[in-house]
Structures are given as structure tokens and as C-alpha cells.
Amino acid sequence: MLVGAEPFAHEGSDDIGVLLCHGFTSTPQSMRGWAEHLAEAGHTVRCPLLPGHGTRWQELNRTTWRDWYGAVEQALDELRDRCRSVFVFGLSMGGTLTLRLAEQHPDIAGIVLVNPSVMTLRKEAKLLPLLSRVVPSMAAIAGDIAKPEVVELAYSRLPLRGMASLQQLWGVVRADLGSVRQPLLLLRSAVDHVVEPENSAIVLSEVGSQEVTEVVLDDSYHVATLDHDAPRIFSDSLEFVQRVHSARVGESA
């Protein structure tokens, strides 16, 4: 395992649990500041290292989206057994996994998405299923950060078989977006060189959630959790979980 790629876990209160899902080719390092902020507020937190990540990029080509989903679902089950209200947060592909969890587990209290991905406009994506069989990797997509000297711990190559599996996950998630009914906070960067703004537009227009809030991050690129707007993400999401939890507890009292 790469140094700094370790999963994050904190045992806090039994009231609120938060699961954080990192992005494709990345590691929990991109979510650690967010996780620590939630832990300092007293909440129980999990941020697993997804299979195929945090080692060598070749390992990611040996996994599929079902492996990544299985890891976050297992962490979700741990939190559901312990906490009254469980929330799921995700960055990029982590947002895709978060949406799938919300589709499959309606008891999730709420979700927070940062630059989630459900599609791409890149023309070469149509060739990905075929190309991934003959070309192992391409140039990396990691490290899209506006803040100087901040580095995302992620692979230096983009594994194409893994990317082809992510593309399959997009289709699965998009087909069921209407079944997402949890309160939703979506934060997207005004300038993102990895995930096009159409992704957030699709999510916002197709989910079935009655409570939907969109926040535009004007001073960050794709990996916003490590960028200038990270404090805004941390504070807005903390307020979100505490407010939604209070409303749920009041309703069930």
C-alpha cells in the first residue's frame, strides 16, 4: 500500500455515521481532511480504500465496479448496524458509488456529492470497451487542483479496463436515478477538467429527491476536497447531516 493511502475510521457517537467514498485511481488521502472534520464533530466515520487502489495502477485493471461497490456497501452495513442516521459522501466516482448505494438502500439518511460522474462527453469513450482490451493504460486524470503545491495521492496512469468498468457503472446508476429520494447536497466546481458539468446537471434533473441543494465552487478544480473550497465543503456537509438527522429524530420521536 502507498504511504498515505490508508483507510480512515473513527468511532464517534451512535447518532450520526458518515461513509466517504473516494474517486477512481485515488485514495482516502483525498478525503482525509473531510473525514477528520466530521470526526472532530463527534461523528462515526468510515472511508475505505477501494479494491485495486492505493498500490499499483495495474491492480485496478484486475478489479471491476462490483468490487468497489462491495467495499463501500460493507462499510455502509457497519455504520447502519451502529448509527441512527447514516449518510454517504462521494467525490467523482465516489459520487457514482454514493448514488448506487442510495438507489439500493433507501434507509440512507442523506447524500453529499462533490463533482459526481455519471457520463462523459469524450468521443474516445465510445471506443473504451474495445480499446481497453489492447491498451492497458493512458495518461492520468488525477491531480486536477487549483491550489498550488497540493498533491493528490493517486495513480500516474489511467487503467483502461478499470475505466471501462466505471463506464458500465455509469449506465447502471443512470438507469435508476429516479429511485434516489434522500436529501441531496451537490457541490460542483465551476471549472473541472475531469468531469463535465453535464454530469451534475443530469443528477440534479433525474433524481427523485424532494430536497436538493446545489452549491457552485468557484475557486476549485475537480479534486475540490483538497482545494481552496474544501472548508466550504466541510462546513456545508456538516450542517447538512446535523440538520437532516435532527429532522429525522424529531419525526420518529
- Which tens digits make up the pLDDT trace of 200-218? 999 999 999 999 999 999 9
pLDDT at 65: 98
Q: 205 catalytic, yes or no?
A: no
Q: Which pairing describes strands 8-10 and 44-47: parallel, antiparallel, or unpaired?
A: antiparallel
Q: What is the SS3 assignment for 140?
A: coil
pLDDT at 64: 97
Sheet holding 184-189, edge to edge: 8-10, 44-47, 16-21, 85-91, 110-114, 184-189, 212-217
Label each residue of 65-86 as H, E or C: HHHHHHHHHHHHHHHHHHCCEE
Which stretches in the chain have pLDDT values below 50? 253
Identify the CA nearest to 163 among candidates 240, 31, 63, 51. Answer: 63
Q: 107 catalytic, yes or no?
A: no
Angstrom CA distances, 22 to 48, 49, 72, 136, stand at: 8, 8, 10, 22
Catalytic residue (one of 192, 220, 227, 237): 192
Angstrom CA distances, 5 to 54, 76, 102, 175, 251, stand at: 6, 20, 26, 32, 39
Residues constituting the chain: 253
pLDDT at 252: 60
Start-end of H helices in the chain: 32-40, 57-60, 65-82, 93-104, 128-131, 160-175, 198-206, 230-252
Q: 92 catalytic, yes or no?
A: yes
pLDDT at 233: 98
Catalytic residue (one of 209, 222, 227, 237): 222
pLDDT at 144: 96
pLDDT at 121: 87
pLDDT at 139: 84
State the residue for C-alpha cell 493504460.
Answer: 137
pLDDT at 253: 46
- Which tens digits make up the pLDDT trace of 46-69? 999 999 999 999 999 999 999 999
Separation of CA 164 from chain center: 18
Catalytic residue (one of 26, 30, 85, 92): 92
Q: Name 113's bridge partners.
A: 90, 186
